[in-house]
């Protein structure tokens, strides 16, 4: 195709507004339930209480940024345990691989916040302005009282939903009941108001106006997800071997030389992405399932079997076309690739849970002071200094006993403490300046360096942790 | 046509279109092709252009509101009067106002009692550490280990020239050593025994061997025996009979493993021949009283405090 015989395409394209028609069906019903479930989880979680003792927050899920703690029911995560979060992110990644290779873009179609909130916003639009044709009419109409009233009402409701969304978000970061009162009495921190404002505006714009463009232009997910799919992935497709050649009903009757598709555009009109599923797999398709509901309804009405548009694997197309029975869904789903993802996903999950239960609620990090590497005292004793951080990850104050093993030459003392026992407050950490000394004549005194293991244990308890480090001698 | 009583799909007996046939009218391509994959020439979304234009408009507003355009002397100041330097100054003033109560408390508390107040001690050590880095680390090192080659004392060990109690350290920091700024400055004196001809080179050699023997270092016993006499006459009045030193006059101990200028034969020889002194400025006229007390508390807890 040469470009000389064409007029050059325009550089910029205006968005074609999409007015999805209402549809009823099993996928639509499921999507409503999922929407209620997920929004419910989002709004309710910050209000769940969890008793942790008098000095600790009693919010079940709390990201306490100021004190650098993350609370999740009985679990408390400190910043140095961030590997739990990293593990969860890896699980999320592998979970995405698993679901995408098995069920295609199921995240996009059912669970993505962009999809869920857009769905809600479209429903609001439908309540206020009516279904597709009414909305189209209103859209094309010049501005008059009715249009201003309806659009104004719609935008107000959208804005309120956006505010509720942004408002709920901040409750995850502070005590929800307190912040709720503060937000309305003007006493909350400016950061809370700014966060609410930003999330209100993003929800309002993304759900109300940007909609499918977020998926098409802004989101990296579709590109990654498309790469995760193969011919066994269950996804939404159009049985073109059954539907083509398409044609309108003639006097209410189907032409026997035509396929089952009567070109009624039901699937196109309900699509929130504004595409035609009959063109096959497209980057824009979020596999929301609404075209299936729409087409099934039509097939029922004209007395044809359902499933002209349906969930299927791409390899089924050819199998069915040649007249054979398609592979069962489970055979598509259980294949080496998905089994590998499941094993990896579950393995990391089990490892995280095990790590969560066996982790100690005390922690120590040892930083040897190397400025200078060692200090010679007047009697020839060599001293090394260690900055030690003790963490008491427990809601009561506890006594930590410091000790050393692996090196009998060394003696320990702590700056500012008479002995080797220190008290650390509830859910707090302490910084110690610990001295190890090697008396003259001992091997550690003259060696370049010798190993030592520093222990921290709970007084009267069995829990203890250690850290291996080295002791620098005079190197003589 | 098809029987849908069992709701099963049965392929009808007719010709099907080739699935490879493209059902959609493809957009034009740019003419670029890699491995047979062509690039569509799709138009850019219009809102993208709008955002570009909005950012340009925004930037114009920014120029007016905030400092933006560089000039010869300074940048345009912007109508909002924003200045990061002024912000820092405000923040520093804020923190200093918050610290003020501790500074007052530091001066009001007896030196020896600072340690008993955990909060005050913590403040003193942290404030002292920052004063130390700014004022002391040039000679004594950021870690406080000193520099032996230059005779800057190590503050981490248990050996002190002028005493290692908190009061001694505080006094030393306040008035310094061998400076003309303060009448109260600590002042040590040692004759240059070789240069001024008080001892011959041979006698110095013998004295060095005796000094080495005091700390149990390698030495020649015969020479040291001879040196003992010179030491008793010339050195013991300040350094003590056994070389134990004297905090009161800043005479270093010679019977320990810690050496200000090094413990080798050559280093000791040079010290006796030429004599050596350190100098330290007094900080009473440079730092606030509270800062001096804070840095004294900091140095005292480095490991050598008495």
For residue B8, the chain A residue with the least C-alpha distance is A305
Cα separation values, A422 from A160, A214, B165, B262, B283, Å: 53, 55, 25, 38, 36
pLDDT of residue B270: 95
Say yes or no: A249 contacts chain B, CB-CB below 8 A.
no
Cα separation values, A263 from A198, A362, B123, Å: 43, 68, 80
Task: Report the first-to-last Cα separation within chain A, whole angstroms.
Answer: 84
Pick out chain B residues at pLDDT < 50: 1-23
Contact flag A377-B257 (C-beta cutoff 8 Å)? yes
* Burial track B277-294 (b if 16+ CB lie within 10 A, e otherwise): ebebbbbbeebeebbbbb
Strand (E) or helix (H) holding A19:
none
Name the CATH topology of B189-274: Cytochrome Bc1 Complex; Chain D, domain 2 (1.10.760)
Decide: A283 and A219 in contact? Cβ < 8 Å.
no
pLDDT of residue B144: 93
Q: Residue for token digits 């308890």?
A: A461
DSSP 8-state class, residue A1: -
In chain A the domains, ranked by start, together with CATH numbers, are: 26-226 (no CATH), 230-327 (no CATH), 362-472 (2.60.40.10)
Residue range A363-406, pLDDT digits in tens: 999 999 998 999 999 999 999 999 999 999 888 889 999 999 98
Query: Who among B14, B42, B257 is closest to A379 (CB)?
Result: B257
pLDDT of residue A181: 93
Contact flag A241-B44 (C-beta cutoff 8 Å)? no
Q: Residue for token digits 């405000």?
A: B90
pLDDT of residue B22: 47
pLDDT(A290) > 80: yes
For residue B253, the chain A residue with the least C-alpha distance is A378
Helix (H, G, I), strand (E, B) or coil at A169: helix
Which residue, A266, A468, A234, A469, is CA-closest to A373? Answer: A469
Which residue, A149, A322, A311, A340, is CA-closest to A232? Answer: A311
Q: Which of residues 129-158 of B touch A (CB under 8 A)?
A: 141-143, 145, 154, 156-158
Cis peptide before A245 (omega within 30 of 0): yes
pLDDT of residue A8: 64
Decide: B192 and A411 in contact? Cβ < 8 Å.
no
Q: What are phi and psi of B32, to 5 degrees?
A: -80, 140
pLDDT of residue A6: 57
Residue range A60-111, pLDDT digits in tens: 999 998 888 899 888 888 888 888 989 999 999 999 999 999 999 999 999 9
Q: Which of residues 305-324 of A touch B (CB under 8 A)?
A: 305-307, 317-318, 320-321, 323
Contact flag B46-A14 (C-beta cutoff 8 Å)? yes
Query: Who among B4, B24, B256 is closest to A379 (CB)?
Result: B256
Contact flag A240-B19 (C-beta cutoff 8 Å)? yes
Contact flag A13-B42 (C-beta cutoff 8 Å)? yes
Is the ipTM reported for this complex over the cut 0.85? no
Residues of chain B contacting residue A1, judged by C-beta atoms under 8 Å apart? 28-29
Mutate to test the interface with A, among B5, B9, B51, B144 (most CBs of A within 10 A): B9
Residue range A201-249, pLDDT digits in tens: 999 999 999 999 999 888 988 888 878 888 899 999 998 888 878 888 8
Question: CA of B44, closest CA in chain A: separation in Å?
Answer: 5
pLDDT of residue B13: 39
Residue range B136-166, pLDDT digits in tens: 999 999 999 999 888 999 999 999 999 999 9
Tell me how many residue pairs between chain A and chain B have CB atoms under 8 A apart: 121
Mutate to test the interface with B, among A206, A302, A375 (most CBs of B within 10 A): A375
Say yes or no: A431 contacts chain B, CB-CB below 8 A.
no
Say yes or no: B253 contacts chain A, CB-CB below 8 A.
yes
Cα separation values, A365 from A130, A373, A452, Å: 64, 19, 14
Contact flag A280-B4 (C-beta cutoff 8 Å)? no
pLDDT of residue A9: 64
Residue B100 CA to chain centroid, in angstroms? 23
What B108-116 contacts at long range (C-beta under 8 Å, 24+ apart), as own/partner pairs, is B111/B166, B111/B167, B111/B170, B111/B293, B111/B296, B111/B297, B112/B166, B112/B167, B114/B166, B114/B293, B114/B297, B115/A416, B115/B297
pLDDT: which is higher, A242 or A121 = A121
Cα A78 to Cα A427: distance, rounded to the nearest angstrom = 10
Which residue, B192, B185, B179, B196, is CA-closest to B276? Answer: B192
């Amino acid at each position: 195709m040469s470009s000389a015989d064409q007029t050059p395409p325009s550089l910029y394209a205006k968005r074609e507004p999409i007015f999805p028609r209402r549809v009823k069906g099993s996928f639509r019903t499921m999507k409503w339930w999922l929407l209620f479930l997920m929004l419910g989880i989002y709004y309710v979680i910050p209000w769940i209480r969890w008793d942790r003792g008098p000095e600790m927050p009693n919010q079940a899920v709390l990201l306490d940024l100021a004190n650098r703690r993350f609370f999740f029911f009985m679990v408390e995560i400190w910043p140095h345990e961030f590997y739990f979060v990293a593990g969860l992110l890896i699980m999320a990644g592998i979970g995405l691989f698993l679901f995408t290779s098995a069920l295609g873009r199921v995240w996009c179609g059912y669970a993505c916040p962009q999809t869920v909130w857009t769905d809600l916003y479209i429903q609001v639009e439908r309540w206020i302005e009516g279904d597709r044709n009414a909305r189209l009419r209103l859209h094309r109409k010049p501005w008059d009282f009715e249009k201003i009233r309806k659009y104004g009402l719609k935008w107000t409701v959208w804005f309120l939903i956006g505010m509720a969304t942004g408002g709920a978000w901040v409750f995850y970061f502070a005590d929800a009941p307190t912040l709720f009162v503060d937000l309305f009495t003007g006493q909350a921190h400016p950061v809370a108001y700014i966060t609410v404002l930003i999330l209100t505006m993003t929800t309002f714009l993304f759900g109300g106006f940007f909609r499918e463009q977020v998926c098409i232009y802004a989101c990296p997910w579709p590109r990654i997800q498309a790469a995760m799919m193969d011919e066994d992935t269950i996804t939404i497709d159009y049985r073109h071997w059954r539907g083509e050649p398409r044609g309108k009903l003639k006097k209410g009757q189907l032409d026997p030389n035509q396929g089952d598709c009567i070109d009624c555009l039901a699937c196109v009109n309900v699509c929130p992405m504004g595409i035609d599923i009959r063109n096959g797999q497209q980057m824009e398709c979020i596999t929301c399932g609404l075209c299936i509901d729409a087409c099934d309804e039509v097939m029922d009405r004209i007395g044809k079997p359902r499933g002209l548009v349906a969930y299927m694997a791409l390899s089924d197309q050819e199998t069915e076309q040649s007249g054979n029975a398609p592979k069962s869904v489970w055979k598509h789903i259980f294949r080496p690739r998905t089994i590998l993802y499941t094993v990896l996903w579950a393995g990391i999950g089990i490892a995280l849970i095990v790590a969560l239960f066996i982790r100690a609620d005390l922690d120590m990090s040892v930083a040897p002071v190397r400025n200078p590497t060692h200090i010679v005292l007047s009697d020839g004793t060599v001293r090394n200094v260690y900055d030690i951080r003790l963490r008491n990850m427990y809601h009561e104050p506890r006594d930590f006993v410091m000790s050393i093993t692996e090196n009998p030459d060394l003696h320990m003392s702590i700056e500012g403490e008479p002995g080797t026992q220190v008290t650390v407050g509830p859910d707090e950490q302490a910084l110690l300046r610990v001295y190890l000394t090697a008396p003259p004549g001992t091997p550690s005194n003259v060696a370049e360096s010798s190993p030592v293991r520093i222990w921290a244990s709970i007084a009267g308890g069995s829990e203890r942790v250690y850290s291996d480090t080295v002791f620098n001698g005079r190197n003589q | 046509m098809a029987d849908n009583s069992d709701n099963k799909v049965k392929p009808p007996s007719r010709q099907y279109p080739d699935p490879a046939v493209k059902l959609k009218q493809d957009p034009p391509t740019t003419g670029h092709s890699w491995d047979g994959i062509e690039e569509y020439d799709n138009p850019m979304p219009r809102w993208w252009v709008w955002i570009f234009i909005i950012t340009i408009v925004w930037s114009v507003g920014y120029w007016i509101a905030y400092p933006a355009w560089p000039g010869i002397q300074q940048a345009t100041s912007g109508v909002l009067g924003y200045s990061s330097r002024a912000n820092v100054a405000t923040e520093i003033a804020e923190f200093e106002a918050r610290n003020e109560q501790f500074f007052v408390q530091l001066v009001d508390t007896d030196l020896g009692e600072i340690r008993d107040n955990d909060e005050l001690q913590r403040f003193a050590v942290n404030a002292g550490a920052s004063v130390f880095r700014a004022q002391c680390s040039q000679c004594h090192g950021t870690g406080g280990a000193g520099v032996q080659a230059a005779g800057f004392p190590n503050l981490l060990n248990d050996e002190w020239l002028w005493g290692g109690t908190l009061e001694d350290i505080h006094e030393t920091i306040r008035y310094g050593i061998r400076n003309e700024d303060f009448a109260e400055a600590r002042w040590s004196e040692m004759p240059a025994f070789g240069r001024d001809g008080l001892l011959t080179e041979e006698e110095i050699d013998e004295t060095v061997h005796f000094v080495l023997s005091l700390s149990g270092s390698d030495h020649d016993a015969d020479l040291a025996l001879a040196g003992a006499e010179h030491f008793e006459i010339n050195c013991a009045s300040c350094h003590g009979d056994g070389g134990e030193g004297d905090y009161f006059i800043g005479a270093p101990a010679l019977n320990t493993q810690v050496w200000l200028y090094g413990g080798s034969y050559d280093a000791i020889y040079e010290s006796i021949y030429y004599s050596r002194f350190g100098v330290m400025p007094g900080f009473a006229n440079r730092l606030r009283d509270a800062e001096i007390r804070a840095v004294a508390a900091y140095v005292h807890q480095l490991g050598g405090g008495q």
